[in-house]
Amino acid sequence: MRHLIDPLDFTQQEISTLLDLADRIHDDPAAYQEVARHKKLATLFYEPSTRTRLSFEAAMLNLGGHVLGFPSENVSSASKGESVADTIRVVSCYADIVAMRHPKEGAPLRASRYSRIPVINAGDGGHQHPTQTLTDLMTIRRRMGRLDDLTIGLCGDLKFGRTVHSLIKTMARCKNIRFVLISPEELRVPDYIVKDVLEANGIPYKETRSLEESMSELDILYMTRVQKERFFNEEDYIRLKNSYILTKEKMSLAKPDMAVLHPLPRVNEIALDVDDDPRAAYFEQVQNGVYVRMALIMTLLGLRDPKAPKEEN
């Protein structure tokens, strides 16, 4: 039995295989509508979510399966003091697979150690968000036709942004990748990411405070919001929340085929008129997230792919 807690739990070849499956689902979703018949997904969301929770639920329903779970901690037995370990033991009796979001880093990992069914980390605090990373990879690959030879700009909250951390760790395994890290000093990428991932693997990167000066060199621009819920001091949030706003004027500085990604939700860091730019890929990401999670559920449950190439059947 396998879990997905960290994006590096899958090898590059396994990720490629999963993205190939997601592409097949994208091209013919009707072929997969009975694949998970009678299977049940439990969504254990201790922290609010719109896209990730609904994406998992849509994925399982699109596969013909069923969904149960809770949307926040205060409607679960956690509000009575039940531990993550006990919750997962109980849920293992009801479901075939679990997607868990938790504000505490490491909670999904702890759950996986007590679970009798596969556990998917749907986001743990400011740590990791592996299924968003898979969604990002699918979007990048479909937009650019590759995952290698790219300059990726990450802009905004790079300190608490779990999607940023997961994407850096995963893309660092690709060939000829370069990162441009755009943030205020207070929200720069954590030192452990810089030292243990970028510098340890000889990945070229630069840190800068200027989005405008970086636009022309980017193949991918990954925008993030400044996350109010991660701040202990509201004054710091107010001071930093409008650090970077992507506008049409700034987009005019970018390559004609650059793709703009965002894990959403956005607050005001991308102006609404950018939505009409063909380089804006963030709502495309939302749809890709459903296909990726369908592929992941199938993979972890070992379900048959009706459209697999003959050599895979």
Alpha helices in the chain (DSSP H): 12-27, 51-62, 84-91, 107-114, 130-144, 162-171, 191-193, 234-240, 248-251, 282-301
Phi-psi region of 112 (alpha: psi -120 to 50; beta: other; left: phi over 0): alpha
Residue 129 is assigned to a ligand binding site: yes
Residue 52 is assigned to a ligand binding site: yes
How far is Cα 251 from Cα 227, in angstroms, rounded to an integer? 23
How far is Cα 180 from Cα 51, in angstroms, rounded to an integer? 27
Choosing from 51, 89, 239, 307, the catalytic residue is 51
Residue 63 is assigned to a ligand binding site: no
How far is Cα 96 from Cα 112, in angstroms, rounded to an integer? 13
Residue 132 is assigned to a ligand binding site: yes
Choosing from 3, 24, 39, 101, the catalytic residue is 101
Choosing from 38, 80, 304, 310, the catalytic residue is 80
Choosing from 43, 52, 131, 139, the catalytic residue is 52
110 catalytic per annotation: no
Query: Would you state the structure tokens that stand for residue 97, as one six-digit string?
Result: 């697979």
Taking every pair of Cα atoms in the chain, the longest distance, rounded to a whole number of angstroms, is 59
52 catalytic per annotation: yes
80 catalytic per annotation: yes
Residue 33 is assigned to a ligand binding site: no
Residue 80 is assigned to a ligand binding site: yes
165 catalytic per annotation: no
Choosing from 53, 110, 127, 129, the catalytic residue is 129
188 catalytic per annotation: no
Residue 264 is assigned to a ligand binding site: yes
Binding-site residue ranges for carbamoyl phosphate: 51-52, 101, 129, 132, 264-265
Binding-site residue ranges for L-aspartate: 80, 162, 225
Catalytic residues: 51-52, 80, 101, 129
Binding-site residue ranges: 51-52, 80, 101, 129, 132, 162, 225, 264-265
